[in-house]
Amino acid sequence: MNLKTGFLCDESYFWHDTGNGALFLPPGGWIEADEHGESPKSKRRVKNLLERSEFINELTLITPRPATREEIELNHIPSYVNEVKQLSDTTGGDAGGLALVGRGSYEIALLSAGGAIISVDAVMEGKVRNAYALTRPPGHHAEKEQGMGFCLFNNVAVAARYAREEYGLKRIMILDWDVHHGNGTENAFYDDPNVLFISLHQEFNFPPDRGAAEDLGESEGKGYNVNIPLPAGTGNAGYLYALEKVVIPKADQFNPELIIVSAGQDASVFDPLAQMMVTADGYGEITSVVKHLAERHCEGRLVVCHEGGYSPSYVPFCTLRIMESLSGLQSKVEEDPYFEAIKGLPSDILAKHQKEAVDQVIKIQSIG
């Protein structure tokens, strides 16, 4: 049977209300009210582009279900889950550092985590070749005891813990290519040798004090935490160099049974919350590398979960290229419509200081 790539989404994800504001700040003082950076627009427009290009017809649609309270508590303490529910049931508010809860957000966050879980089910049970979960709210900043950075429940961490319990997996690799460090996921597995966590992120961005290359894990988990902090301005070439020299060797050594990706398309050249230069085609190349890793080690079992990405105009094209790579198919969108505006940028040139940043990680991780 020729399996397709799975695609999971739900209209409810677009109804999670982050209110108004500007970029990541609430209105007030000198901040004039505007559309909040983590609005549903960039995610909704991914689905719109899939439908407009008819590429959605090449995918197997997956319907999410809400995560159970017990599944959420595989990764979060009960008092925090209660806090999110209480805010969601009443006035809304902040469940941590910039973790906004709107009315009804609790149920939507359960559905977001459940979307990651059901995508794992679809891949593990052989219903799809691999899967892309267009979930919202995102999750990778969420800690066990609090939310952070637009994230309520840590979708990927919950899904990884679920996969271990449900399928008895011993080795799960989580690759986080969101431009911001996945602090919540790192903390969830910092002492765990059964989860290899690798984060590629812009150095000193958010959280500014997290994601150092020297943070290797602790206790039995030492050596299973890999941070690759990249300088501002890193583009396709820098990311591919990091994959070749760090991610592939660590994955080959670990031999994962399942790969889960925290996919933030906020390292793109047009993102307002970062300063990187990855192009839509670059995201396609990055995905191809990870897909081949999954094929080599775990029979192609790969689940990609949407995280950040705050350029409503460009995120859809980056995500489409990711899904093309996952499926091995070309959509009708043959050329990046923004290419003319960015073709002069050094996205495909590996600068000396970018190479040195990755080489420092190689040294710290004792690779080679």
pLDDT digits (tens, 9 = 90+) for 50-69: 999 999 999 999 999 999 99
Give yes or no for residue 319 having a pLDDT over 90: yes
Max alpha carbon distance in the chain (Å)? 59
Give yes or no for residue 113 having a pLDDT over 80: yes
Specify whether the CB–CB gap between 192 and 224 falls below 8 A.
Answer: yes
Beta strands in the chain (DSSP E): 6-8, 20-21, 34-35, 60-62, 93-94, 96-97, 100-101, 131-133, 147-148, 172-176, 195-202, 225-230, 258-263, 302-306
Per-residue confidence (pLDDT) for residue 26, from 0 to 100? 86
Specify whether the CB–CB gap between 279 and 235 falls below 8 A.
Answer: yes
- Give the least confident one: 17-31, 49-63, 143-157: 17-31
Per-residue confidence (pLDDT) for residue 368, from 0 to 100? 76
Is the peptide bond prior to 138 cis by the omega test (within 30 degrees of 0)?
no
Pairwise CA distance, residues 229 & 206, whole Å: 11
First to last CA, the chain: 39
Per-residue confidence (pLDDT) for residue 48, from 0 to 100? 98
Pairwise CA distance, residues 189 & 298, whole Å: 20
Per-residue confidence (pLDDT) for residue 166, from 0 to 100? 98
Phi then psi for 230, rounded to 5 degrees? -110, 145
Segment 313-326 mean pLDDT: 98
Q: What does the block give as tokens for 344? A: 């002069």
Mean pLDDT score of the chain:
97
Angle (CA) 46 135 14, round 5°: 70
Segment 20-34 mean pLDDT: 90
Pairwise CA distance, residues 234 & 228, whole Å: 12
DSSP state of 221: G
Pairwise CA distance, residues 264 & 317, whole Å: 13
pLDDT band (50, 70, 90) for residue 301: very high
Give yes or no for residue 140 having a pLDDT over 80: yes
Segment 183-188 mean pLDDT: 98
SS3 content of the chain, % helix, strand, coil (to 5): 40, 15, 45
Label residues 121-138 b or e (16+ Cβ within 10 Å = b). Answer: bbbbeeebbbbbbbbbbb
Q: Is 0.95 topped by the overall pTM?
A: yes
Given this structure, which CATH class describes domain 6-365?
alpha beta
Other Cβ atoms closer than 10 A to 196? 26
Q: Which residues are catalytic?
A: 141
Coil/strand/helix, residue 255: coil
Chain centre distance of CA 83: 24
Angle (CA) 305 306 311, round 5°: 165
Length of the chain in terms of residues written = 368
Give yes or no for residue 1 having a pLDDT over 80: no
DSSP per-residue string spanning 307-367: -----TTTHHHHHHHHHHHHHT---S--S-TTHHHHTTS-TT---HHHHHHHHHHHHHHT-
Segment 338-360 mean pLDDT: 98
Pairwise CA distance, residues 124 & 118, whole Å: 10
- The torsion defined by the Cα of 293, 302, 321 and 270, in degrees rounded to 10, comes to -90
Each domain of the chain, given as residue ranges in start order, spans 6-365
